[in-house]
Structure 1
């Protein structure tokens, strides 16, 4: 399970060092794809493959399904960590997420999310008030 917030730096070659606590679950390979809200999602390869099978089962005769499949799979890059726990982020993915030197990596249960640091802070500021409402929608009657 991926949890927590970390602040790694993107180097000049487009490499990001993953937090040490996240490296072991990603040793079997990882998939980086465009996420929602202009962040990147990083899935362990096996988790991504399970999701891909579900997406593949949707009827491709549906226009929304085709659009989603194209967007998801065309924007995905398979990676593996180097010996120092770094991953290379493709330039198109860096552009999409607006990544520069300062990044934020958050754990989101079954995936990591990589954010531009300024964009992450803006997201938190904009959504702080909605947190209680979202909690009630996701976990009604809990807490």
Structure 2
């Protein structure tokens, strides 16, 4: 499983192509290192890029927790998969991001690719700079989430 770290500023050309950062490429641990799935994030106005193996893991979780014959689940599935696209790196290390997805999240020419554990978020550069928590807000959030959880030895 891949673990992605780091923030990388990139340029999107007029066709929607972006050069995938070499540092992120080295972090891909997959049998299909050039294949990804991209979709709009559920919570934020950004895109999420999954290596193919992680995407398959995510869809397995969804399959185990949904019933397509349940109306509410079917609505969730439709929205979850809306606009999803498979993308791959070309021989120059570029990927073509679908224009409909770029427009959906307000991405222009400048983006930030941000490693987020097992996925990569793709943000419009100006939006990414504005979603940062202050240090005390982050400390309070960390305490609420992790402060009462006993640490486990691995």
Using the size of structure 2 for normalisation, the TM-score is 0.82
RMSD, aligned α-carbons: 1.8
The gaps in structure 2 that reach 5 residues or longer are 150-154
Q: How does 1:66-85 map to 2 (within 5 A)?
A: 66-85=74-93
1:89 paired to 2:91: no
Between the aligned partners of 1:60 and 1:69, the Cα distance in structure 2 is: 8
Contact 2:34 2:89 in 1 (8 A): no
Tell which deviates more after alignment, 24-33 or 41-50: 24-33
Q: Number of aligned residue pairs: give it.
A: 140
SS in 1 for 2:86: strand
Provide, for residues 69-125 of structure 1, a one-character-per-residue CA deviation record: whole Å limited to 9, x for no partner.
Answer: 11221221001101222111101100111111111110000000000011111111x
For the pair shown, the structure with the greater C-alpha radius of gyration is 2
1:102 paired to 2:110: yes
The alpha-carbon deviation at position 134 of structure 1 amounts to: 2.0
Between the aligned partners of 1:140 and 1:63, the Cα distance in structure 2 is: 38
Partner of 1:130: 137
The alpha-carbon deviation at position 39 of structure 1 amounts to: 0.3
Between the aligned partners of 1:3 and 1:132, the Cα distance in structure 2 is: 20
Partner of 2:61: 54
Provide, for residues 40-59 of structure 1, a one-character-per-residue CA deviation record: whole Å limited to 9, x for no partner.
Answer: 00000011011111112222
After the TM superposition, list the runs of 4 or more consecutive aligned residues in structure 1 that deviate by more than 6 angstroms: none
Using the size of structure 1 for normalisation, the TM-score is 0.88
The gaps in structure 1 that reach 5 residues or longer are none
